[in-house]
Amino acid sequence: MPKCGSQCYLCDVPIRFDMYVGCSHGCKYCFAKKFEDISKIKIDETPKKLKDFINGKRTPDTSWCDWDIPLHIGGMSDPFQPCERKYRVTYECLKILKETQYPFIISTKGKLVAEEEYLSLLEECNCVVQISLVCSDYDSLEAGCPTFEERLEIIRKISPRVKRVIVRVQPYMHEKYDMIFKNLKKFKDAGAYGVIIEGMKFPKKVEGLVRIGGDYTYDYETILSDFLKLKEEAHKLDLKIYAGENRIRKFGDNLTCCGIEGLEGFKPNRYNLNHILNGDKAVPEKDMKMLQTGTSLCFLTLMSNTASLSKIRKQSFYYTMLQYYKEHKNSVDKIMGVKKR
């Protein structure tokens, strides 16, 4: 079933669905490597589980959501990686998504997304397609992926046939700023609607970087300065720009950073600390499930111990969101860049 975990307190689209476990792209910077050996690829979710979720079935960690929130497909494993040719789980899921018109965001670096049998389905789905690419210097870091130029061609092919294509400039490297600045025009010319910027993160200490949460990344002034210059250029090109970087989320064109704003049927969850701390007083409607007790088990991934389980079972998603901030204010403020404003 679709899962909701540690992103529940800051992401507007925190429920993800992955067809596979593992990934053959072999990107040297991949964050998923922190959690498991991603070279061992196997089927994860199934079309039946997708259909169950669409039909309203919820698990303990998604029980807070009682509307058709957009699913993020490809959060931990690429749905269009080469193994899809063998297993075809993505293809079968796309048929369900076409039939039901359930909203979703799908992220990939794979070539299959542009092949006709997949593209013809995506064309009739209610979806936003995200393609990850940064610059040609990344080709050596992404040995198992199509090259930068090949992915540009993928965007050219699919952009006229899907609702939107968003370019994920993730992970962004400050050292490649000049190349990325110039590439904005390439993204626009290929048909992209917008770009998402999120800085490179390292699990171990790197000289010159600062610790944010459990990772090391660029200091606030560096990432904000780069982002604002990229934003100015993007707007000259009539290209939307979003901050996937939590500390500077408010400087993007929308607090929902995945590029779905204004699309019919795409209702994200605005009740989270991203919106609350950035001045958007999003209050749940009085009949929403997140106000009911027992709907906050997704927070267990953030507070995993026996005492937390006993407490959370008696709480609502709404209450636990505020309580989590109260108990972790200093760390959350740092992650969200509150003290830098």
The pLDDT tens digits for 286-296 are: 899 999 999 99
Partners of 268 in the beta sheet?
none
Contacts of 92 (CB under 8 A, 6+ apart): 47
Q: Which residues pair with 127 in a beta bridge?
A: 104
Task: Give the pLDDT score at 301.
Answer: 87
Q: In the prediction, which pLDDT does 54 show?
A: 98
Instruction: Look at residue 30 in the predicted model and tell me its pLDDT.
Output: 78
Assign 311 a pLDDT band (cuts: 50, 70, 90): confident
- Nearest Cα neighbor of 151 from 183, 196, 173 is 183
- Residue 222: which residues within 8 A CB-CB, separation 6 or more? 174
Beta strands in 29-159 (DSSP E): 42-43, 71-73, 104-108, 127-132
| pLDDT tens string 106-116 | 999 999 999 99
Q: What is the C-alpha to C-alpha distance for residues 260 and 128, in angstroms, rounded to an integer?
A: 7
pLDDT at site 130: 98
Average pLDDT of the segment spanning 59-65: 97
Structure tokens at 196: 């998402």
Structure token digits, residue 226: 């780069």
How large is the average pLDDT for residues 13-20? 97
Characterize the bridge pairing of strands 42-43 and 15-17.
unpaired
Three-class SS state of 42? strand
Evaluate if residue 341 carries a pLDDT over 60. Answer: no
3-276 CATH pick, 3.40.50.1370, 3.40.50.970, 3.30.420.40, 3.80.30.10: 3.80.30.10
Kindly report whether the peptide bond that precedes residue 171 is cis, defined as omega within 30 degrees of 0. Answer: yes
Amino acid letter for position 10 = L
State the Cα–Cα distance between residues 32 and 25, nearest whole angstrom: 12
| pLDDT tier at 36, thresholds 50, 70, 90 | low
Compute the average pLDDT of residues 97-109. 98
Write down the H helix ranges in 237-305: 273-277
3-class SS at 172? strand
| Mean pLDDT of the 270-274 span | 96
pLDDT averaged over every residue in the chain: 94
- What's the CA gap between 322 and 300, in Å, rounded? 15
CB atoms within 10 A of CB 203: 11
Of 140, 142, 144, 150, the C-alpha closest to 114 is 150
Name the percent of the chain lying above pLDDT 70.
Answer: 96
pLDDT tens profile 178-231 = 999 999 999 999 999 999 999 999 888 999 999 998 899 999 999 999 999 999
The structure's pTM equals 0.95
Indicate if the pLDDT at residue 146 is higher than 60: yes
Structural domain boundaries in the chain: 3-276, 290-340
Q: What percent of the chain has pLDDT over 90?
A: 84
Categorize the per-residue pLDDT at 305 as very low, low, confident or very high, splitting at 50, 70 and 90.
low
Side-chain half-sphere exposure of 179, counting CA atoms within 13 A: 13
Residue 283, pLDDT score: 86
What average pLDDT does range 65-77 have in this prediction? 95
Residue 241: its H or E element: strand 240-243
Q: Give the pLDDT mean for 154-169.
A: 98
Q: Quote the tokens at residue 25.
A: 């792209």
Q: Residue 216: helix, strand or coil by DSSP?
A: strand
Is the distance from CB of 222 to CB of 175 less than 8 angstroms? no
HSE at residue 67, side-chain half, CA atoms within 13 A, is 15
